Chains A and B, each alone.
Chain A
Amino acid sequence: ILNVEQSPQSLHVQEGDSTNFTCSFPSSNFYALHWYRWETAKSPEALFVMTLNGDEKKKGRISATLNTKEGYSYLYIKGSQPEDSATYLCASITGANNLFFGTGTRLTVIP
């Protein structure tokens, strides 16, 4: 079992603000780190899969970085929009493709 932690648990930001949240995971035997976006009543949607130390990935206004040596990843959202409101989950993975999730960060973007 991998202990994955996310902070903060919830976040309210004004439309147009940029924001970021953290995922920490065990750095030993690191295999891969996933970020998912989960809107209420919908499927969790994969944002990024990151495997290499120093990885930076970007999808539109959302980007993520990875530090496997110290065991953390940051997710950034630039210019938050109301449609970004969702729970953002990170998950660390063993070689067997079993995801160990954090508790998520619930983001609310206020128009």
Chain B
Amino acid sequence: EPEVTQTPSHQVTQMGQEVILRCVPISNHLYFYWYRQILGQKVEFLVSFYNNEISEKSEIFDDQFSVERPDGSNFTLKIRSTKLEDSAMYFCASSEGAGRGEKLFFGSGTQLSVL
């Protein structure tokens, strides 16, 4: 069964460093998303992406964050200058469409630890 893959599974970085989290969505999907979960809190929406541009973004997704689809398969989340509070599990997801009954397919996440 097709799946969303994320790399790396764990990333440790120093505060102020840039990180890039990588995702390979399901190949025929057109909509891509990033979510995150800070330990003990709810899973939160960051950004959605369609047709090579951001569709929606949350308040969390400030100028420190950016997303890109550099080629036909990868979808990346970049955090320019990491802060301690960016430590979280980051999930990539994709969906075929954006219709009302559309399921999202999630990857298994990248655990980001900022020291």
Contact = CB atoms under 8 A, between A and B. Distances in A.
A100 B108 CA distance: 18
A89 B43 contact: yes
Interface residues of B, number: 27
Contact of A51 (B33, B44, B100): B100
A9 to B, nearest CB: 11
B104 A31 contact: no
Interface in B1-51: 3-4, 31, 33, 35, 41-45, 48
Interface of B: 3-4, 31, 33, 35, 41-45, 48, 55-56, 58, 91, 95, 98, 100-109
Interface of A: 4, 31-32, 34, 36, 41-46, 49, 51, 89, 91, 96-103
Contacts of B44: 101
Contacts of B33: 97-98
B108 A97 contact: no
A51 B48 contact: no
